[in-house]
């Protein structure tokens, strides 16, 4: 296990911004009415960051995370959309990165490494996806390209719901179905309740009274998948998130005090073989390794974390992440959730603005959105979604996953 992912130069994130996560559930959303496009979201998020850091003159380079604009929007070469944010970004180096749903996390790592390499003092990091351009079944096929192409041919029509349905089914068989389903419903409830506190969240307008009862609707394999219902799944989302990755010099140039930034303490970046199925469907092994690498590099344990932003693309993934972090033993993740430990007032609040299920999952933006959420929480600027922070636990952790636990980036942040 490497322990070298600890910056030798101080790196911070600051001035984060999220657009609305647009899709079904938002009052403004209508599938047949015109909506913002890819460049609109990029410009909205990017301009908000520039306004907070003193303008484009303070940016040395840009990086954008995106998964499938080529299929959803017939648009490639996204790096060249960064200068559309501001004339002052013209002719500055920009890069587009892709790693399925971990594209945003990889964009963060790319920007962090540029600051560490001293090729930049300030990097504008953007994540974006616009997915409501095709019908859900076609979108599922596009998103399936995050899996192995040969496996896709034999996979479920709803490929990734099918994959995580298989994980849920394996977990039911090994550890019991009833309490696991209850914990999945509790996870859904927590996600939506947190989203109701965040005006940009896709589930912000959700007014269902008994969320757990809704989430316990029995799966229908004839119309969807065997072990998950639609409430177990993150929704199709459009949106962008942006953040500035800066050195101490970058902070000074922007005129931003350290208490309005959070320090990047360490990270874990782990890749698994796309062509190999998981050894154990009831474990997120790549997630476990990435988080372990990040925590070890930071010199802390999971008990030092104030909050976690994890990749709950499906409710079962949230439970498996709690186990991957070592917060619960294998098979005990449902109890950890049902006991309220992941709730906003619990032992370690997860996904305080709703996560992928509540806030939304514009795939290329998710990793950046997680960073923005942790920035807001650790600086006390999360508004209605703010949790109470203990000075004894000044750290936050983000976990961004691509594919079926294949590409994972975990980042540890510390309050400035």
Nearest to 45 by CA among 12, 91, 84: 84
Q: Are strands 395-402 and 407-415 parallel, antiparallel or unpaired?
A: antiparallel
Catalytic residue among 17, 101, 233, 313: 101
State both tokens at 350.
Answer: 């997860």
Cβ atoms of 297 and 291 closer than 8 Å: no
For residue 233 the two structure tokens come to: 């799944």
Question: Is 198 considered catalytic here?
Answer: no
Beta strand segments in 188-311, E: 238-246, 261-271, 305-309
Find out whether 129 and 363 touch, Cβ atoms under 8 Å.
yes
Query: Taking the CA atoms of the chain, what radius of gyration do you get in angstroms?
Result: 20
Q: What is the DSSP letter of 22?
A: B
Cα separation, 258 vs 37, whole angstroms: 34
CA 284, 285, 287, 292 torsion-angle sign: positive
**Closest among 37, 15, 73, 47 to 239, alpha carbons compared:** 37
Task: Name the catalytic one among 156, 227, 311, 361.
Answer: 361
369 catalytic per annotation: no
Coil, strand or helix at 214: helix
Positions marked catalytic: 101, 361
């Amino acid at each position: 296990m490497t322990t070298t992912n600890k910056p030798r130069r101080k790196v911070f994130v600051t001035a984060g911004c999220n657009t609305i996560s647009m899709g079904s559930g938002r009052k403004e959303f209508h599938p047949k009415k015109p909506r913002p496009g890819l460049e609109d979201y990029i410009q909205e998020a990017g301009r908000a960051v520039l306004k907070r850091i003193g303008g484009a003159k303070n940016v040395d380079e840009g990086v954008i995370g995106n998964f499938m604009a080529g299929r959803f929007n017939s648009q490639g070469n996204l790096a060249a959309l960064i200068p559309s944010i501001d004339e002052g970004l013209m002719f500055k180096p920009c890069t587009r990165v892709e790693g399925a749903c971990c594209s945003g996390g990889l964009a963060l790592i790319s920007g962090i490494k540029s600051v560490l390499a001293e090729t930049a003092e300030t990097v504008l990091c953007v994540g974006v996806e616009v997915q409501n351009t095709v019908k859900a079944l076609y979108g599922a096929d596009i998103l399936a390209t995050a899996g192995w192409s040969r496996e896709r041919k034999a996979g479920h029509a709803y490929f990734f719901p099918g994959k995580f349905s298989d994980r849920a089914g394996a977990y039911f068989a090994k550890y019991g179905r009833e309490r696991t389903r209850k914990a999945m419903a509790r996870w859904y409830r927590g996600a939506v309740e947190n989203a109701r506190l965040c005006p940009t969240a896709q589930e912000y307008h959700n007014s269902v009274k008994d969320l757990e009862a809704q989430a316990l609707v029995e799966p229908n394999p004839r119309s969807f998948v065997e072990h998950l219902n639609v409430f177990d799944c993150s929704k199709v989302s459009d949106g962008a998130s942006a953040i500035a990755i800066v050195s101490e010099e970058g902070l000074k140039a922007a005129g931003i005090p350290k208490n309005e930034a959070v320090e990047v303490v360490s990270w874990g970046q782990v890749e698994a073989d796309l062509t190999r199925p998981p050894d154990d469907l009831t474990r997120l092994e790549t997630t476990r390794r990435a988080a372990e690498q990040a925590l070890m590099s930071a010199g802390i344990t999971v008990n030092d974390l104030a909050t976690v932003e994890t990749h709950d693309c499906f409710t079962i993934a949230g439970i498996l992440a709690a186990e991957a972090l070592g917060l619960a033993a294998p098979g005990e993740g449902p109890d950890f959730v049902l006991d309220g430990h992941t709730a906003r007032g619990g032992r370690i609040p997860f996904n305080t603005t709703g996560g992928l299920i509540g806030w939304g999952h514009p795939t290329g933006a998710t990793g950046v959105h997680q960073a923005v959420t942790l920035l807001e929480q650790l600086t006390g600027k999360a508004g209605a979604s703010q949790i109470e922070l203990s000075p004894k636990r000044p750290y936050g952790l983000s976990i961004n996953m691509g594919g079926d636990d294949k590409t994972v980036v975990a980042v540890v942040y510390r309050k400035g």
